[in-house]
Amino acid sequence: MMDYLGQLLANGLVLGAVYALTAVAFTLVYGVVRLVNFAFGELFMLGAFLTTSLMLPEVRLAGVIVPMPGFPLPVAALGAIVLTALIGVLVDRIAYRPLRNAPRLAPLITSIAVSVVLQSLAQTLWGAEELRFPEFYLATLPPVVLFDSIYLSVMDLVVMASAVIAMAGLSLFIARSSLGRAMRASAEDQTAALLVGIPVNRVVAAAFAIGSGFAALAGLLYAQTYGFAHSSMGFLPGLKALTAAVLGGIGSIPGAALGGLILGLVEALGSGYLPNGTAWKDAISFVLLVGLLYLRPQGLLGKPELNSAGRGSLLGGASEFAGGWLHTLFGRLDGGLARLAAAGPGAALAFLAIAAVLGALMPSDYWLRILTMVVIYGMLASGLNVIVGFAGLLDLGFVAFWAVGSYLTSILFVLVLKDSFGVAPDDIWWLLYLNLPLAGLLAAGFAVLLGTPTLRLRGDYLAIMTLGFGEIIRVVAINWIGLTNGPMGIRDIPAPDLFGIPLGSPRAQFFFALVLAALVVFAIARIVRSYVGRAWVAIREDEEAAEAMGVPTARYKLYAYAASGFVGGFVGVFYAHYQQYISPLNFSLFENILLLMLVVLGGLGTFLGPFIGALIWIVFLQLALDLPFVQAYPETRFALLGVVLIVLMVFRPQGLAASARVSLIMPGSRAKGAA
């Protein structure tokens, strides 16, 4: 028994070393510029790909065989770290530096867009298949045996030694070098640092270079341990590293090391001792994250002041660099969309009316399906817009509410009534219409339950906790096979039916979606135009000021969670019946990020914006397929749209229809007050 425990602890230390290295990347950059850089997961991946490529005699890039130098691992690793560090500096210069003074959501969205761009480009270059990591002579040596029972490969020892040396060296560098002291000064107060002559932009670039190098080192060690590099390999380890950074206290380098160590040990012990522990280890990590954030929001070694939303609006104004012809172009677009949206929810309803005419005249079933997806994603983005755009709360777990509605109706129709009792779906067509409000209410209750622990959190910490909740739901859906059918998903969900009339044609389903969208827009508009909506907008603009004016912010935040959850569950029911198949893959973090991008693209806090964002995204993805280059490399569609989003965040962080955002003073309110 002790031998088994010792082996698990050794495995946990190796895994924890990898998490700690990437956590240092997150925490170093966050400490200097208060940015959660989601792109570090992709820099982790690039470190693995570059090292593997430099070690091979040749590699296939974009379908072409390219000769490579065939370096030994130490030389290839050093080259990959330097190249990745340069990429990190370039990303900061292009995408992040213009947003130093932008609304705090803009850099977060930009980091997500950079992540999409890097992953899409990596898949275009190296392909969707795994690239095998070349064998290194140290990996062929016999394992080291400790205490006659614990086996560690030589490369496991190299991984741990590399992590210890790298983090110890970084700690000494930060503590004793002039650049390290400049980083600490910039982290404390960038304005004061500028006043005493510290070149803050260079300091930030150095932080990105070091952080990117650490992510690359972690990625190449991970690839060596598991024997492959893959374009999506950085996603989950990146989330785990962010979890480790938050556990230790994001902004604290010793905390990142401690968080990585704890997370690696917890995962190893959970995998070894819990029933089916290997399948549940990801959930264990995120449960640990949520629990610690609830009990100690700043993490084990972090500072309490980091759990702060800061002064000013989540949405704010334009970047200081927003000038030139792009600024003029976005300004004209905003002006036109703002005039269109001057009627508030009426604009969104008019948009749906135009869509109805288009749907009636559209001869192509293919494009009717495309437009139906636009309406569905517009409704889902509208639900997320309630919590992010109107209440100003960074929520990365909205997909959990969407999943509740989809799984409720699918389980009742397929797994319970059809499979268990043999009831034909046509005989219970009315259950779909009962499930719509029922799923909405269930998701709303679930949202309040999940939202309650977040009331103590602010800003980025709030986003990270909701991210944890969303990932827990996804892992549960994958592993609770008896309830959800696991990764296989639920098939043969019946198409909508009305009084025995099948609504399975693309045109009928499109009009069904339009009716639901009109209900969603009308309901959201009624709430937002009420006192509840004004309280949300007050919280969004300045939570401390709202509390000082007597607004019970905790209660109204829960109202926002409930309203957002209701829309997610409501739309989830139709989504399941439209798709006729759901699986946990439908409710991943990427989908939540996509919905957030749609809201930002169209304009946060607007009624029309979510539908504009959905139209741009989905139609662009389809039209891009006609481009010859995209036909050859389909993954570049996402890279192109990621670039568009980065440009939008740099030059128009408020979104295209930002002038139509609901304000504290509603149209006509001043006149009524004067009367």
Asked whether 246 and 459 are in contact (CB, 8 A), the reply is: no
Residue 265 buriedness (CB in 10 A; 0-12 / 13-18 / 19+): middle
Cα 273 to Cα 262: distance, rounded to the nearest angstrom: 16
Q: What residue type is assigned to position 449 of the chain?
A: L
Q: Confidence class of residue 569 from pLDDT cuts 50, 70 and 90?
A: very high
Task: Please report the sign of the dihedral spanned by the C-alpha atoms of residue 617, residue 435, residue 447, residue 317.
Answer: positive
Residue 413 buriedness (CB in 10 A; 0-12 / 13-18 / 19+): buried
Asked whether 388 and 530 are in contact (CB, 8 A), the reply is: no
Over residues 94-120, mean pLDDT: 86
Asked whether 245 and 302 are in contact (CB, 8 A), the reply is: no
Please give the residue that has the higher pLDDT: either 650 or 407: 407
Over residues 557-577, mean pLDDT: 96
| pLDDT above 50 for 7 | yes
Residue found by looking up tokens 């972090």 in the block: 302
- Reading the block at residue 444, the tokens are 């709303």
Domains, the chain, ranges and CATH?
A: 1-266 (no CATH), 337-660 (1.10.3470)
Please give the residue that has the higher pLDDT: either 147 or 177: 177
Q: What is the pLDDT of residues 427-471, one digit of tens each?
A: 888 999 999 999 999 999 999 998 998 887 877 778 888 888 888
Q: Which 3 state secondary structure label does DSSP give 59?
A: strand
Dihedral angle at the C-alpha atoms of 285, 289, 295, 301, nearest 10 degrees? 110
Asked whether 381 and 610 are in contact (CB, 8 A), the reply is: yes
- Reading the block at residue 466, the tokens are 């909701």
Half-sphere exposure of 460 (CA within 13 A, CB side): 29
What contacts 24+ positions apart, CB below 8 Å, involve 332-337? 333/656, 334/652, 334/654, 334/656, 334/657, 334/658, 334/659, 335/659, 337/603, 337/608, 337/612, 337/656, 337/657, 337/659, 337/660
Asked whether 522 and 349 are in contact (CB, 8 A), the reply is: yes
Asked whether 427 and 417 are in contact (CB, 8 A), the reply is: no
- The pLDDT, as a whole number, for residue 318 is 42
Cα 518 to Cα 354: distance, rounded to the nearest angstrom: 12
| pLDDT above 60 for 672 | no
Q: What is the pLDDT of residues 115-138, one digit of tens each?
A: 989 999 999 999 888 999 998 777
Q: What is the pLDDT of residues 287-340, one digit of tens each?
A: 888 888 888 887 888 776 555 544 445 555 444 444 454 555 555 555 555 555
Residue 422 buriedness (CB in 10 A; 0-12 / 13-18 / 19+): exposed
- The pLDDT, as a whole number, for residue 129 is 86
Report CA Rg, the chain.
25
- The pLDDT, as a whole number, for residue 454 is 87
What contacts 24+ positions apart, CB below 8 Å, involve 446-449? 446/400, 446/401, 446/404, 446/565, 446/569, 447/401, 447/561, 447/562, 447/564, 447/565, 447/566, 447/568, 448/558, 448/561, 448/562, 448/565
Q: Which residues contact 662 (CB under 8 A, 6 or more apart)?
A: 344, 390, 528, 533, 537, 605, 606, 607
- The pLDDT, as a whole number, for residue 56 is 93
Q: What is the pLDDT of residues 222-236, one digit of tens each?
A: 998 888 999 989 988
Cα 212 to Cα 189: distance, rounded to the nearest angstrom: 23
Over residues 363-377, mean pLDDT: 92
- The pLDDT, as a whole number, for residue 89 is 95
Task: Share the mean pLDDT of the chain.
Answer: 85
Q: Which 3 state secondary structure label does DSSP give 390?
A: helix
Report DSSP state, residue 228: E
Asked whether 33 and 193 are in contact (CB, 8 A), the reply is: no
- The pLDDT, as a whole number, for residue 173 is 92
Cα 255 to Cα 114: distance, rounded to the nearest angstrom: 26
| pLDDT above 60 for 665 | no
Residue 369 buriedness (CB in 10 A; 0-12 / 13-18 / 19+): middle
- Could you tell me which of 421, 435, 662, 651 has the C-alpha nearest to residue 537? 662
Q: What is the pLDDT of residues 490-530, one digit of tens each?
A: 999 999 988 878 888 999 999 999 999 999 999 999 999 89
**What percent of the chain lies above the pLDDT cut of 90?**
41
Cα 492 to Cα 408: distance, rounded to the nearest angstrom: 15
- The pLDDT, as a whole number, for residue 286 is 87
CB neighbourhood size of 250 (10 A): 30
Over residues 570-585, mean pLDDT: 95
**What percent of the chain lies above the pLDDT cut of 70?**
89
- The pLDDT, as a whole number, for residue 332 is 55
- Could you tell me which of 451, 457, 472, 547 has the C-alpha nearest to residue 280? 472
- Reading the block at residue 321, the tokens are 């660099």
- Strands 144-146, 64-67: parallel, antiparallel or unpaired by DSSP? unpaired
| pLDDT above 70 for 390 | yes
Q: What is the pLDDT of residues 595-618, one digit of tens each?
A: 988 888 887 888 888 998 899 888
| pLDDT above 80 for 593 | yes
| pLDDT above 70 for 671 | no
Q: Which 3 state secondary structure label does DSSP give 476?
A: helix
Over residues 48-59, mean pLDDT: 94
Q: What residue type is assigned to position 432 of the chain?
A: L
Please give the residue that has the higher pLDDT: either 344 or 427: 427
Beta bridge partners of 132: 228
- Reading the block at residue 363, the tokens are 């001869």
- The pLDDT, as a whole number, for residue 673 is 38
